[in-house]
Structures are given as structure tokens and as C-alpha cells.
Amino acid sequence: MKTFTCKEIMNNEGGCEMKFIGADPVNVASQCSKHVSSSTDEVHATMREMMLNPNHTEEDRKKWFAWFQSEWDKKEND
């Protein structure tokens, strides 16, 4: 299992101290995306707008996930 904070998942472009724990990056990313999409505050706006942007393509999503996968790989297991 690995633990990521909301901040880390947002690449420190906002986010909060909430922690997401999971065995794979898809699971952790999906926990965080639920958290971000239910937020209404400024600190989550960057990611929320990216997720809700109708111009956000499958390719953008893949690019983001490739970045997150590399962060995941760098992180030690809990």
C-alpha cells in the first residue's frame, strides 16, 4: 500500500492534507478524484476545473496518469 496526500496528487498546485491509501495508482487516483469533484473550495479548483473541463481529452487524462504513475513508482510502500 502507498499513501498520497491530496496535495501530492495535485502536484502541490493546491490540494489539502487529506490522505489516500491504496494498493495501486488507479485506486488512489479515483479516491482523490471523488474527493476533488465533491469539493467546492479554491484550493481544489485547479484539479476540479481540469476534471470538469469538456475539452479535457482522453489523451490529457492519459498524460496526467503517466505523471501520477511515475510519482507512484518513486514512493516507498507503507
Residues near Zn ion, by CB under 5 A? 6, 15-16, 18
Alpha helices in the chain (DSSP H): 6-9, 25-37, 45-52, 58-74
What's at 28, amino acid-wise? Answer: V
For residue 4, what are the β-bridge partners?
A: 20
Minimal distance, residue 47 CB to Zn ion, in Å: 9
Minimal distance, residue 18 CB to Zn ion, in Å: 5
- Contact criterion met (CB below 8 Å) for 14 and 32: no
Q: Choose between 33 and 69: whose C-beta lies nearer to Zn ion.
A: 33
- Give residue number: closest CB to Zn ion: 6
Minimal distance, residue 44 CB to Zn ion, in Å: 6
